[in-house]
Structure 1
Amino acid sequence: MHVLPGVPKVNRVSTSSVPRPPESAAPSGPLRRPALPRIARRGTPEGALPALALFVSVRLAGILVVLVTNALRGHPLLRALAHSWDSRWYLHIAAHGYGHKIWITPQGAVQSDWAFFPLYPGLIRALTTVLPLTPGQSALLIAWAAAGVAAYGVYAVGHHLYGRGVATALVALWAALPHSVELTIAYTESLFAALAIWSLYCVLRGRWLWAGALAALAGLSRPSGFAIAVAVSLAAGYEALRRRGRVPVSLWAGAVLAPLGWLGYVLWVGSRMGDVLGGYFTVQSAWDSRFDFGVGSARFLKALLLHGGGVVYPASLVIVAAGVLLFALLCLERAPLVLVVFAGVLILLVVGGSGSFSSKPRFLLPAFPLLIPMARALARSWRNRPAHAMVVYGALTVVSLLFGAYVTAVARSPL
């Protein structure tokens, strides 16, 4: 190496090509730690603000379209948001607790409030206790706040795996799903999504204790909490096998914590019903909600082909079919195991479960990993053909706003 006159020779670290000044040239005083990347200093991904602003804009537009639709139809403006279908059950539980409301169907089935998980009504009651809000207002505030937290989680997962462009596209697509209006009504989807998505993020970052705790809370929010419990526990088991058992205690603790919320409520309802293991599933059967390995879905498809079904039911079938296709593409993407398992279990519960088909699209709302292949394609399109990407996304958003207003304020199909 040639050395210029008057310039001292410097040593080089063997693992890097960056020169290090000699010790004699070190500055006096305490040593300064090297600056960390912004993502490491903050512990959260950078560049999320534009994506979150887009999410909020789309969902506010969705609420506005619902309000306008209600006004044109002469309906109360906010009633469709705070008092639709299952919302009434959650509000009643928040006000009076469990065991005080039943509904007898025309077929004679006795539907009880034990079918609804406790976290959402518990939060509603807590908020009405500390703030001068009605239960309906509290329910909407929780749902809207949770939707924002969930959107940030979607961005965090996308940024961690693919970078800012794909993460932004992932949030944008999640905001504009045809059934995403249900993120902004008094339902549990946004709360469950927020807890489950951040649990997935913690798994990807190796924060197993947090992952298990968030999965346990998600399991207290709705029946599909089973999906995140399975995803976290299987991911922990796979990681233990990969490391040949040499894993921190936090990994095992997270795996044990993950199913406790869902399992605890199921067993508690069973004990109240006099059948610890089967009582909860008896309650769900009265709501025609059980896993029948796709028999109910096949019957629905046959009836739809023979008799038709307006707008909502064919659209629901298309959404569910698209979810199955996107799951296949997600597997081809070789996405992380925890994301594939989470989305796969939700798909399995939707396709293999009975119940009203019009409700099935919202069960897939938390399954944002299904959107990863589309998000990567949209990000590439934005880089190469931004005008084309804007037209496609704009069309998807318009369809989402109109469909959301229709199912919320016009259609009488169960949400």
Structure 2
Amino acid sequence: MTDLDTRAAERWGALRRAAPALLGYTAVRALGLLVLALWSAARGRSAYTLLTARWDSLWYTGVAELGYGYEVRLPDGDVHSNLAFFPLLPWLERLGAAVGPLSYADAGFVVSLLASLAAAWGIFAVAEHVYDRRVGLCAVLLWAVLPVGVVQSMAYSESLFTALAAWSLYAVLTGRWVTAGALAALAGLTRPVGLAVTAAVWAAAVVAFARDRSRAGAEGAHGPPYAPGEGARRVLGMLLAPLGAAGYVLWVGHRTGDGPLGYLDVQAGWRNGFDGGAAFARFVAEKFTSFPAALAGAALVVGVALLVRLYVAGVRQRQPLALLVYTGIVVLLALCASSYFGSKPRLLLPAFPLLLPLARALARARTSRAAAVVCGVAVAAAVYGAFWLNGSGPP
């Protein structure tokens, strides 16, 4: 058997192991889309429009169709520029429209559907590698039934980013450093939080180098501490990882004439920035000044406490460093940004390692009980997603 045959057999085996998780994920998302279609029809609205031609979806398709340079000046002086949106999703939308009969919005929807499946497979691969196949299945199903899981089926960049991040992390965990760096670079072309993937690659590589040096010192000069070329591949992966995000940010700075940090000025026009969570803390505190807004404030406090507890559980369960670094930065940027507060739940969608402690607990339950829990939460998430998109929706 040739190396090519061996790799093909390995990939086919990996797909077979992931098949139940992917089928379960597809079923959950199909339920969500069905409920959304019925709910929207009852309100005289188009579910497809909600998924492909509202909020950020319009900005992405605008970039795909017209390129960069469009901006909206608001009466309060804010400037909303499409330079705030990273280019990989619009590039794929343009490619999809160029090679087939799809519109840019159609192509964005197809990209999100395919990327969500790739993300589910990547989550399964990471969880299976760290724990086992059953935990991988549970992790995928939990990601599918998140209350804002409907975003995974929208022409947004969350699914695409999560897919690239998950597979980059899996490549790190399995020692495929060049692949990890290349995927991290693509993630950096998708969303600003791509730096979390880069940081995970760098942290894991630095620790691997330190571990190799320690082994070399312990074993002496006899025998290489790692396979020939391993160090070079790690360095190449580290060099590749930041290229996507750095390249786009520097290009924006050059285009606007504001220098290397010009992208921050673009984000400021959207009132986005990093303030250490001060604005979010004020937002939560203001909820407690009236009733029933205080109930929403209490729910937010409980939600943040749950995020912290899940992260601490990951630390205690000794999740790999790459996962902890990645998750920590995703959560930190989501909670400590001064952006629109209603968007924070969807900004947390890529932080899938937070679900691993819950997936482990669910995996230990009886199959019948675990299935009942997942089905019940899936129905609730489908109803909430339909209600949400037909209401305020994700900004």
TM-score for both structures, normalised by structure 1: 0.86
What's the offset of the Cα at 1:65? 1.1
The within-5 A match list for 1:196-215 is 196-215=165-184
Secondary structure, aligned partner of 1:291: coil
Secondary structure, aligned partner of 1:298: helix
Secondary structure, aligned partner of 2:205: helix
Q: 1:49 to 1:341 in 2, by over 3 A?
A: same
2:255 corresponds to which letter in structure 1?
A: R
Residues of 2 paired with 1:52 and 1:286: CA distance? 40
Aligned match of 2:337: 353
Asked if the contact 1:52/1:148 (under 8 Å) is kept, the reply is yes
Q: 1:121 to 1:311 in 2, by over 3 A?
A: farther
Residues of 2 paired with 1:200 and 1:37: CA distance? 20
CA distances 1:105-158 after superposition (whole Å, capped 9, x unpaired): 342201100000000001101110110011111110000000001101111111
Matched, 1:412 2:392: yes
Aligned match of 2:37: 67
Task: State the aligned residue count.
Answer: 378
What's the offset of the Cα at 1:215? 0.3
Match of 1:256 among 239, 253, 261: 239
Residues of 2 paired with 1:134 and 1:177: CA distance? 29
What's the offset of the Cα at 1:305? 2.0
Q: 1:111 to 1:214 in 2, by over 3 A?
A: same
Work out which structure has the larger RCO, using CA pairs closer than 8 Å and 6 or more positions apart in sequence.
2
Match of 1:270 among 236, 253, 260: 253
What's the offset of the Cα at 1:37? 12
Matched, 1:96 2:77: no
Aligned match of 2:274: 291
Match of 2:312 among 328, 333, 336: 328
Residues of 2 paired with 1:198 and 1:286: CA distance? 33
Unaligned 5+ residue runs, structure 1? 1-30
Secondary structure, aligned partner of 1:111: strand
Residues of 1 paired with 2:90 and 2:276: CA distance? 31
Matched, 1:223 2:204: no
Match of 1:83 among 42, 48, 53: 53
Secondary structure, aligned partner of 2:72: strand
Matched, 1:55 2:25: yes
Aligned match of 1:191: 160
Q: Which has the higher helix share?
A: 2
Q: 1:195 to 1:240 in 2, by over 3 A?
A: same
Aligned match of 1:21: none
2:79 corresponds to which letter in structure 1?
A: V
Residues of 1 paired with 2:153 and 2:303: CA distance? 19
Report the identity percentage. 43
Aligned match of 1:165: 134
Q: 1:297 to 1:39 in 2, by over 3 A?
A: farther
Residues of 2 paired with 1:365 and 1:113: CA distance? 22
Asked if the contact 1:90/1:120 (under 8 Å) is kept, the reply is yes
Q: 1:51 to 1:310 in 2, by over 3 A?
A: farther
Secondary structure, aligned partner of 2:41: helix
Residues of 2 paired with 1:130 and 1:67: CA distance? 28
What's the offset of the Cα at 1:234? 1.2
CA distances 1:354-381 after superposition (whole Å, capped 9, x unpaired): 1111101111111111011000000001
Aligned match of 1:363: 347
Matched, 1:128 2:112: no
What's the offset of the Cα at 1:414? 3.9
Q: 1:127 to 1:318 in 2, by over 3 A?
A: farther
1:274 corresponds to which letter in structure 2?
A: G
1:116 corresponds to which letter in structure 2?
A: F
2:190 corresponds to which letter in structure 1?
A: S
Unaligned 5+ residue runs, structure 2? 215-224
What's the offset of the Cα at 1:388? 2.7
Residues of 1 paired with 2:55 and 2:380: CA distance? 23
What's the offset of the Cα at 1:287? 1.0
Residues of 2 paired with 1:120 and 1:312: CA distance? 34
Between Structure 1 and Structure 2, whose CA radius of gyration is higher? 1
Secondary structure, aligned partner of 2:329: helix
CA distances 1:317-354 after superposition (whole Å, capped 9, x unpaired): 65444322211111111100000111000111012111
2:172 corresponds to which letter in structure 1?
A: V
Asked if the contact 2:288/2:297 (under 8 Å) is kept, the reply is no
Asked if the contact 1:166/1:375 (under 8 Å) is kept, the reply is yes
Q: 1:344 to 1:188 in 2, by over 3 A?
A: same
Residues of 2 paired with 1:85 and 1:219: CA distance? 22
Aligned match of 1:145: 114
Asked if the contact 1:144/1:183 (under 8 Å) is kept, the reply is yes
Asked if the contact 1:407/1:413 (under 8 Å) is kept, the reply is yes
Aligned match of 1:397: 378
Residues of 2 paired with 1:129 and 1:164: CA distance? 39
TM-score for both structures, normalised by structure 2: 0.90
Residues of 1 paired with 2:296 and 2:62: CA distance? 27
For the aligned residue pairs, the C-alpha RMSD in angstroms reads 2.4
Residues of 2 paired with 1:244 and 1:291: CA distance? 37
Residues of 2 paired with 1:136 and 1:316: CA distance? 33
What's the offset of the Cα at 1:387? 3.3
Asked if the contact 2:288/2:294 (under 8 Å) is kept, the reply is no
What's the offset of the Cα at 1:192? 0.4
What's the offset of the Cα at 1:241? 1.0
